[in-house]
């Protein structure tokens, strides 16, 4: 996953920064997402989407303030996990509604 995400970044300094963020905070972000989704694959998807969002806002991340960086990335992971959760919930209710409609 890291190599694929790194291809989205052009600047070598930003690549280095992103790589360090990934190495240092990927597990924290995964655990944050997993606590919400309770599913390994969904949590991994949420973390990948979160890192894509991080790439878009890389300039907002201050590597020197570890506590602030950890909180910032955990919040992004949490929000992406909620997005995945809501999407799954909508898909389930839509599928059930469609199946019920077919019964009648």
Q: How far apart are CA 43 and CA 80, in angstroms?
A: 9
Share of the chain above pLDDT 70, in %: 89
59 close to 16: Cβ distance less than 8 angstroms: no
Mean pLDDT for 13-39 is 96
Q: In this structure, what token pair is assigned to residue 100?
A: 């019920």
User: How does the average pLDDT of the chain come out, rounded?
Assistant: 89
């Amino acid at each position: 996953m890291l190599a694929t995400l790194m291809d989205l970044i052009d600047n070598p300094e930003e690549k280095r920064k992103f790589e360090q963020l990934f190495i240092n905070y990927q597990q924290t972000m995964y655990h944050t997402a997993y606590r919400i989704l309770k599913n390994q694959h969904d949590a991994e998807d949420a973390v990948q989407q979160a890192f894509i969002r991080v790439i878009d806002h890389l300039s907002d991340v201050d590597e020197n303030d570890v506590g602030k960086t950890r909180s910032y990335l955990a919040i992004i992971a949490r929000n992406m996990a909620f997005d995945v959760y809501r999407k799954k919930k909508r898909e389930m209710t839509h599928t059930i509604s469609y199946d019920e409609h077919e019964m009648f």
